[in-house]
Structure 1
Amino acid sequence: MKPLKSYLSGQSITQRVLRGSAISGVGYFLGQGIRLASNLILTRLLFPDAFGLMALVTMFVLGVVMMTDVGLTPSIMQSKRGDDPKFLNTAWSVKMLLHSFYFVIICLLAWPAAQFYDAPQLVQLMPAVGLSLLIGGLVSPNIEHATRHIRLGRVTMIDLTSQAASVAAMVIFALLTRSIWALVFGQFVAAGVKALLTRYYLKGPTTHFAWDRSAVHELIHFGKWITLSSACGFILSQGDKAVLGKYLSLEQLGVYNIGFFLASFPMALAENITGRTIIPVYRDSPPYESPQNFRTVRRMRMGLSAVVMAMIAVMVLCGPFIINLLYDSRYAGAGPIVALIACAQIPVVLGMTYPQAALAAGDSRSPSLLTMLRAGVQIAAFLTGAEMGGLTGAIVGQMLAGWVLHLFIIRLAVRHRVWDPLHDAIFAGIGLLLTFGGLSHLFMGG
């Protein structure tokens, strides 16, 4: 145990990433456990249409945020000035202005959104959730500073504490009112708790307003392509709900959202870990500089992919069983959705770290163009599949598009000299076997 403890407490890039990945992984599972528990409780206290309505609110809020995202977090993580208090506080000041802008735009969109989706409650719900973004803007940049150096213990604790406080608030409010406003109230609590903890619990420079023109220029120069990437990322993550919200009832959309919630567990884990650890790895240990660096990165990617693929396998093969076990009969239709969405995520696993390698090299343009391509192809595949085979066809269309798009991800990896063909071949083979087996089990009854 002593050698292991010594290794985990070391400061080499491998030791920091291993420690950070372990902390992020444990935090992810605890966070998803909290989220699942709240989901199980709230689905019994609220009707499915409440989750459908909240899915629409979340879609619009994320749309506004992601369409104007300037990539402050990756900017801080990759910048040579990422430890400069003036740079950090300038980034925080830009964030505060952005969050104020978000609130105004969300308020302006509330009435048109209510008319388009024939959901009058959006007029009140959207500004309320937008107000929670103003509170979220108070979150200290020390959280990005800690992530930059893969010091993730307190960061993870802050995330879990704010999430637990939010869940407790939602459950209590739902017990008292049986109203969708419980879900809104939980967002206020989460934002407030996180803002307080990042200021008074997380070590780092004192947070205050600052405006360094050179820092603003660097943030905007790096972030201009992040904005495009984030806007396209919104289409990738929320395009399905934008389309389905028009054609499904709120109750059906709520059932779909429950299925998506469970199926997204594996990729949420992957994004949690890669978002916090991979950019520093590629920044400090570029694989093309030495065989040792290449082996180090390969081991990390192999381990992460194996864990994520195992979780996807559970969702593909056991999705309907999990839904029937955890939820009442109103949500039975979410079972096949879990399995299908999990299959669609398999090709994404293969190249999930390559865009971070480009960002670590200061190239925000290439990942953004790639995301734009993915958004266009996948939404086209989703719509085409929906026309040919309904919801099932839409998800299968996205899955097929994902396999095709991986060829373009390989091109990005080759350009930055980080492609690992052995990794991709192994997990492509596993993924294809899992997809064929899962679809056969789903449509042919085993």
Structure 2
Amino acid sequence: MRRVMTYMSGSSITQRVLRGSAISGMGYFLTQGIRLASNLILTRLLFPDAFGLMALVTMFVLGVVMMSDVGLTPSIMQSKRGDDPKFLNTAWSVKMMLHGMYFVVICLLAWPAAQFYEAPELVQLMPAVGLSLLIGGLVSPNIEHAQRHIRLGTVTLIELATQAASVVAMVIFALITGSIWALVIGQIVAAVVKVLLTRHYFKGPATRFEMDRSALHELIHFGKWITLSSFCGFLLSQGDKAVLGKYLSLEQLGVYNIGYFLASFPMALAENIVGRMIIPVYRDTPPYESPQNFSTVRRMRMGLSALVMSMIAVMAVGGPWIIDLLYDIRYQEAGRIVSLIACAQVPVLLGMTYPQAALAAGDSRSPSMLNMLRAGVQITAFLIGAELGGLTGAIIGQMVAGWILHLFIIRLAIRHRVWDPLHDMLFAGLGALITFAGLSHLLMAG
């Protein structure tokens, strides 16, 4: 054990990634454990339609944010100027202006959203949640600077503290009022706590408003394709709720959202680690430069895929049992949703690091074009599946689309000389077996 700890405390890219992955993984498990505990408590204090309403609010908020995202975090992580105080201050200044714009747009969208979804509560809920984004613009840019160098200890502790404060606020307010406003208060508290902690604990250049022309040009040049990619990412992550919100009742949407929350846990963990680790890895150890680099990246991807695939297997086969164990009868239908969504995530896992390799090389255009293709294909498959087989057909349609789209992801990987066919074939075979087992279990259960 001492040898392992000594090795992981080193400064090489492999040691930093191992240390960062361990910290990120543990932090994510603890954060999601807190979320799950709060979820179990809140589902007993609030009605399912509260979660349906909050799903609609979240969809609009994420839509506004992702449609105007300029990729400030990946810009800082990949840029040669990522340690320059002028570059960091310019990035933070842009972030402040964007968050102010988010708040205004969300307020303007509140009334039309309430009319479209016939949910008058959105008129008040959306601006209130938008306030948390306005506050979030004050978060110190030194948090991105720490991620650039894979120094994730303080980052993880702050996220845990933020999550814990949010949960405490939500539970207390839900106990007192039994109102959906408990969920809103939790988001505002989380934003305030994160701002205070990042300002106090992150050491780095003093943050001030600054607009360095060359830094701004680099941010815009890199981020122009990120905006398109994020917009498509919104369609991929929230398109289902946008469609279902119109055709399901708020209660049914709330049940779907509970199932989605559990089923997305494995991939959310993978995205958490990949988002923080993989750009520095591909930046500092490009696989095409040497067999040693290729081997290093392969080991990292194999370990991550094995961990996440095992979790997907549990969700795919045991979804109904997990829901029966954790939730009451109102959420029983969510078990089938958990299994189906878990199966649909298998092809997404296979190639999720390849777009990060392109970003590490300064290519933001290719991942954006890929995301645009993915959004179009998956939403079309979702709609066709829904027409043919309802909610079950819609999720299966997304799963089939995911397998087809992986061919285009491979093309991107080959272009940037990072494709690992052994990894993809091994986990594609394992994923196909998991999918077969999960769907077979659902069919036998009726």
The alignment's TM-score, normalised by the length of structure 2, stands at 0.99
Gaps in structure 1 of 5+ consecutive residues: none
1:211 aligns with 2:211: yes
The match for 1:51 is 51
The match for 1:68 is 68
The match for 2:402 is 402
Partner secondary structure for residue 14 of structure 1: helix
In 1: Cα distance, 2:404 partner to 2:122 partner: 37
The match for 1:346 is 346
Structure 1 outlier segments of 4+, above 3 Å: none
1:323 aligns with 2:323: yes
The match for 1:196 is 196
Q: Which amino acid aligns with 1:70?
A: V
| Greater CA drift, 384-393 or 1-10 | 1-10
The match for 1:40 is 40
1:151-190 alignment, distance < 5 Å:
151-190=151-190
TM-superposed CA distance for 1:444, in Å, is: 2.1
Query: Does the 8 Å CA contact 1:199/1:207 hold for their aligned counterparts?
Result: no
Partner secondary structure for residue 376 of structure 1: helix
TM-superposed CA distance for 1:204, in Å, is: 1.4
In 2: Cα distance, 1:418 partner to 1:347 partner: 18
Q: Which amino acid aligns with 1:320?
A: P
The match for 2:436 is 436
Report Cα offsets for 1:393-436 as digits up to 9, x if no partner: 00000000000000000000000000000000000000001111
In 1: Cα distance, 2:2 partner to 2:339 partner: 42
**Number of matched pairs:** 446
Q: Which amino acid aligns with 2:38?
A: S
Partner secondary structure for residue 151 of structure 1: coil
Q: Which amino acid aligns with 2:340?
A: L
Partner secondary structure for residue 210 of structure 1: coil
Partner secondary structure for residue 135 of structure 1: helix
1:100 aligns with 2:105: no
1:311-390 alignment, distance < 5 Å:
311-390=311-390
In 2: Cα distance, 1:182 partner to 1:2 partner: 45
Q: Which amino acid aligns with 1:366?
A: S
The match for 2:91 is 91
Report Cα offsets for 1:59-103 as digits up to 9, x if no partner: 000000000000000000000000001110110000000000000
Query: Does the 8 Å CA contact 1:280/1:360 hold for their aligned counterparts?
Result: yes
Report Cα offsets for 1:287-317 as digits up to 9, x if no partner: 0000000000000000000000000000001
The match for 1:143 is 143
In 2: Cα distance, 1:151 partner to 1:217 partner: 27
The match for 1:81 is 81
In 2: Cα distance, 1:311 partner to 1:261 partner: 14
The match for 1:122 is 122
Report Cα offsets for 1:27-85 as digits up to 9, x if no partner: 01000000000000000000000000000000000000000000000000000000001
In 2: Cα distance, 1:402 partner to 1:55 partner: 24
Query: Does the 8 Å CA contact 1:165/1:193 hold for their aligned counterparts?
Result: yes
In 2: Cα distance, 1:112 partner to 1:103 partner: 16
TM-superposed CA distance for 1:445, in Å, is: 3.0
Report Cα offsets for 1:244-292 as digits up to 9, x if no partner: 0000000000000000000000000000000000000000000000000
Gaps in structure 2 of 5+ consecutive residues: none
Report Cα offsets for 1:115-165 as digits up to 9, x if no partner: 000000000000000011010000000010000000000000011100000
Q: Which amino acid aligns with 1:362?
A: G
In 1: Cα distance, 2:172 partner to 2:361 partner: 47
TM-superposed CA distance for 1:2, in Å, is: 2.6
Partner secondary structure for residue 300 of structure 1: helix
The match for 2:303 is 303
In 2: Cα distance, 1:189 partner to 1:268 partner: 23
In 2: Cα distance, 1:137 partner to 1:196 partner: 12
1:227-242 alignment, distance < 5 Å:
227-242=227-242
Partner secondary structure for residue 11 of structure 2: coil
In 1: Cα distance, 2:216 partner to 2:150 partner: 24
Q: Which amino acid aligns with 1:191?
A: A
In 2: Cα distance, 1:208 partner to 1:165 partner: 27
How large is the Cα RMSD of the aligned pairs? 0.6
In 2: Cα distance, 1:206 partner to 1:199 partner: 10
In 1: Cα distance, 2:392 partner to 2:114 partner: 27
In 2: Cα distance, 1:298 partner to 1:82 partner: 26
In 1: Cα distance, 2:267 partner to 2:387 partner: 27
TM-superposed CA distance for 1:354, in Å, is: 0.3
In 1: Cα distance, 2:239 partner to 2:71 partner: 21
Query: Does the 8 Å CA contact 1:279/1:359 hold for their aligned counterparts?
Result: yes
Report Cα offsets for 1:187-206 as digits up to 9, x if no partner: 01100000111111112111
In 2: Cα distance, 1:147 partner to 1:425 partner: 31
Partner secondary structure for residue 345 of structure 2: helix
Report Cα offsets for 1:304-353 as digits up to 9, x if no partner: 00000000000001000000000000000100000000000000110010
In 1: Cα distance, 2:91 partner to 2:339 partner: 41
The alignment's TM-score, normalised by the length of structure 1, stands at 0.99
Partner secondary structure for residue 205 of structure 1: coil
Give the percent of matched residue pairs that are identical in Structure 1 and Structure 2: 83
In 2: Cα distance, 1:142 partner to 1:69 partner: 19
